[in-house]
């Protein structure tokens, strides 16, 4: 798509006013750049801004508004920031709006995690005291500001040259960062405050960019299928594909989108934060020090992000290790870690060595020992967390397919999205039952953080933004928990498939 962002800069050299040419400052500028609206605070600054540069300078415009007038020609300096605000992880990028280039990237834990690690506990917390919603709001906004600071620091970009921010998040995250009471999201019949996207002032939201800067908050589909899913559909162009196509965005909530017969259905399922490394004993985000890929032959082989000693394990490697242990019979179909002396004979001795009892008397598998930060292990409890996550997503997939009368083998493509590691090894995902085994694994594509990509698109192209709004209206929300088969599907999907090796 063409880079045609919401913000444009125009350098102008206006004729100086004279007694014969005495139109107002605002009209003089409009003669050069076209009509615009102006806020009172910007209008207060305009006369001095025009005169500071002898009526030469750079107008900063959105589709409707004049948001700044800067001395000299600053057209080269035009930036925006895009955010994916997840329940567990927040990712942001800084973009050069002239070229569309990504010049910095940051990710971190969502600081709201100290108030609960899933959306329901955050919703509950927000109602638990008069200042609690504000605590949640200021925590996330404060950290987004800090991420912007870091990205500016790394690139030398002047913060005032960031004119727009786009934000995609699940519905609860969007409500919380906007300071909108999310109570109705958490109780039947699960109603969000808004569904269309929001065009706000950064100052209303508390984001510190150019003082007149704007924010676009993605439209949401329903209470549990939010702007991140809209952004994912936008960036993957799912809606223009030849169906049936499945998009699974694996995060603390797993969002499942099915395109079939020109209809798009979307559902959400509470996977928990295991894939993002939370609730996993040595889990961590996909950042320096995280084991991101694991294979087992006669020993455990792994790759660490940043090529430094292993400090923990991130989502993609959690899938790997579980799949490998399952393949070797070290985990059985119910998810139980087998003790050393009950293991199949073909398990190599070096691998057997890695199974041990921890001080709570539970089995764990040692991935990397004696590093400075202690052993990196994968525990029986971690496997249970993974089973819940896998079960929730797979049950959702099964129900969506059934409701649409589609078999897994009919799917033309399966898109896996999420920011949980380098990429997902498709056969490992199928081995765990996260994806149906019947799907030709060539049809499975890992698309990375599709939500962040969508947020980036919306920043770079107003057409994309309009498209996002139409996606928000087109997609139908399916409430999985209402399906009588959900519990049954879920318990079945928690069991790992029989291993064919």
- Binding interface with a second copy (CB under 8 A): 17-19, 21-27, 38-41, 43-44, 46-48, 51, 178-181, 183-184, 188-196, 198, 200, 204-205, 220, 222-223, 477, 479, 482
Nearest-approach distance from CB 200 to a second copy, in angstroms: 5
Asked whether 352 and 344 are in contact (CB, 8 A), the reply is: no
DSSP state of 371: -
Nearest-approach distance from CB 335 to a second copy, in angstroms: 33
Nearest-approach distance from CB 199 to a second copy, in angstroms: 8
Task: Using the minimum distance from each CB to a second copy, give the nearer residue, 189 or 361.
Answer: 189
Render 212-271 in DSSP notation, one character per residue: T-EEEE---SSSSS-HHHHHHHHHHTGGGS-SSEEEEEESSEEEEEEEETTEEEEEEEE-
Task: Using the minimum distance from each CB to a second copy, give the nearer residue, 47 or 348.
Answer: 47
Nearest-approach distance from CB 26 to a second copy, in angstroms: 4
**Helices then strands (H, E): number in the chain?**
14, 22
Cis check: omega of the bond before 300, within 30 degrees of 0 = no
Question: 138-177 burial, b if ≥16 CB within 10 A, otherwise e?
Answer: bbbbebbbebbeebbeeeebebbbbbbbbbbbbbbbbbbb
Nearest-approach distance from CB 468 to a second copy, in angstroms: 16
Task: Using the minimum distance from each CB to a second copy, give the nearer residue, 25 or 106.
Answer: 25
Burial bucket for residue 72 (CB in 10 Å: 0-12, 13-18, 19+): exposed
Task: Using the minimum distance from each CB to a second copy, give the nearer residue, 361 or 484.
Answer: 484
Nearest-approach distance from CB 192 to a second copy, in angstroms: 4
Task: Using the minimum distance from each CB to a second copy, give the nearer residue, 194 or 384.
Answer: 194
Task: Using the minimum distance from each CB to a second copy, give the nearer residue, 20 or 298.
Answer: 20
Which among 137, 198, 142 is positioned nearest to 166, based on CA atoms? 198
Task: Using the minimum distance from each CB to a second copy, give the nearer residue, 220 or 331.
Answer: 220
Nearest-approach distance from CB 447 to a second copy, in angstroms: 28
Which among 195, 145, 172 is positioned nearest to 86, based on CA atoms? 172
């Amino acid at each position: 798509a063409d880079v045609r962002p919401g913000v444009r800069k125009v350098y102008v050299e206006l004729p100086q006013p004279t007694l014969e040419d005495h139109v107002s400052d605002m009209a003089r500028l409009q003669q050069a750049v076209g009509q615009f609206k102006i806020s009172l605070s910007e209008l207060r600054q305009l006369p001095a801004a025009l005169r500071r540069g002898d009526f030469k300078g750079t107008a900063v415009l959105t589709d409707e508004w004049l948001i700044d007038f800067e001395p000299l020609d600053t057209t080269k300096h035009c930036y925006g920031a895009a955010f994916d605000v997840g329940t567990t992880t927040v990712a942001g990028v800084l973009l050069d709006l002239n070229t569309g280039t990504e010049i910095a990237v940051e990710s971190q834990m969502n600081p709201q995690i100290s108030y609960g690690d899933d959306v329901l506990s955050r919703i509950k917390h927000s109602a638990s005291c008069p200042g609690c919603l504000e605590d949640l709001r200021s925590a996330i906004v404060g950290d987004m500001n800090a991420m912007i600071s870091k990205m500016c620091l790394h690139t030398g970009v002047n913060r005032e040259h960031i004119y727009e921010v786009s934000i995609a998040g699940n519905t609860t995250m969007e409500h919380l960062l906007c300071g909108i009471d999310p109570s109705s999201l958490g109780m039947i019949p699960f109603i969000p405050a808004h569904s269309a996207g929001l065009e706000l002032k950064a100052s209303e939201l508390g984001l510190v960019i150019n003082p007149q800067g704007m924010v676009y908050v993605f439209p949401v589909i329903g209470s549990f299928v939010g702007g991140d899913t809209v952004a994912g559909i936008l960036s993957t162009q799912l809606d223009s594909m030849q169906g049936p196509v499945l998009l699974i965005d694996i995060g603390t909530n797993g969002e499942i989108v099915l395109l079939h017969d020109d209809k798009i259905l979307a559902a959400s399922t509470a996977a928990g934060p295991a894939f993002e490394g939370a609730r996993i004993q040595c889990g961590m985000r996909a950042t320096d020090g995280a084991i991101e890929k694991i294979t087992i032959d006669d020993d455990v082989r792994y790759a660490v992000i940043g090529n430094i000693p292993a400090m923990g394990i991130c989502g993609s490697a959690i899938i790997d290790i579980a799949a490998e242990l399952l393949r070797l019979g070290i985990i059985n179909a119910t998810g139980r870690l087998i003790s050393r002396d009950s293991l199949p004979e073909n398990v190599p001795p070096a691998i057997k060595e890695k199974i041990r009892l921890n001080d709570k008397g539970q089995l764990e598998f040692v991935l990397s020992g004696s590093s400075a930060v202690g052993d990196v292990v994968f525990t029986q409890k971690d496997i249970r967390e993974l089973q819940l996550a896998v079960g929730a997503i797979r049950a959702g997939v099964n129900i969506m397919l059934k409701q649409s009368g589609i078999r897994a083998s009919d799917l033309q493509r399966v898109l896996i999205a999420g920011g949980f590691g380098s990429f997902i090894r498709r056969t490992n995902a199928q081995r765990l039952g996260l994806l149906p085994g019947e799907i030709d694994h060539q049809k499975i594509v890992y698309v990375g953080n599709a939500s962040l990509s969508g947020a980036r698109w919306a920043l770079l192209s107003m057409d994309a933004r309009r498209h996002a709004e139409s996606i928000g209206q087109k997609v139908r929300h399916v409430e999985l928990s209402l399906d009588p088969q959900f519990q049954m599907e879920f318990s079945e999907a928690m069991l790992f498939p029989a291993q064919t090796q």
